Amino acid sequence: MNVQESSSSNDAVEESAPSVEGGEIARASLDELETLVSCPDRLSDDWQAWEMIRDLSVGRMRNEDLGADVQLRWVRLALVANRLKRRSGRFDAASILVDDVYVQVFAIYRFGPRCDDPVLGPVETCRAVFREIHERLDDVVAATKAWSSLTKQEILRLRRIKNLLNILAPIMQFIPQEAPEYQALSQWLQIVPRLP
């Protein structure tokens, strides 16, 4: 079952979905977890369950003993679980984005880009990061010149930018050189060594 499909019946979900206990989630099959996330109201406020599903999915997506199609299902499950985790309100959007970008960059690098698949789209992944940064390159460069005098919050912001850029770097090769995102990412990556 595709992660983004919804179940035709709540009764069917109740019968086949795994228990929300941590041990049961860890032993659940991919099909069972996809069914569980297709009916998120069962765990609507259980951010720890979504975190567990995401962590499990990240581990399984990296398992090269699984076929590419199965690994991609784990990729999609990780992204859905992360989105559901965001609903709890316990995590800021930036930390959720870091997790999403990590998963997507892994998938793009491992399986190659696909313009018809938003999960495997390097250009859209870059756009999401640039939207999160929402600062001009010149302003960030200026901040790096005296970063030791910045507040703790401002330093953390620069570190988050550095982290996002480092995660993105491996997929630059998949972005068409004529795309504006290629030029933008190239310029941003040049300042990474100057970020705290």
Task: State pLDDT tens for residues 84-104.
Answer: 888 877 888 888 889 999 999
Considering the chain, what percentage of its residues have pLDDT values greater than 90? 60
pLDDT tens per residue across span 117-128: 989 999 999 999
What pLDDT band is residue 14 in, cutting at 50, 70 and 90? very low
Residue with tokens 């069962």: 42
pLDDT at 17 > cutoff 60: no
53 neighbors 85 (Cβ within 8 angstroms): no
> How deeply is 42 buried, as exposed, middle or buried, from its count of CB atoms within 10 A (0-12, 13-18, 19+)?
middle
At residue 4, what are phi and psi to the nearest 5 degrees?
Answer: -90, -5
Is the model more confident about 39 or about 194? Answer: 194
* pLDDT recorded at residue 22: 54
Q: Residues 130-167, buried b or exposed e (16+ Cβ, 10 A)? A: bebbeeeeeebeebbeeeeeeeeeebebbebbbbbbeb
Contact, 5 vs 38, CB < 8 A?
yes
| Mean per-residue pLDDT, 163-186 | 95
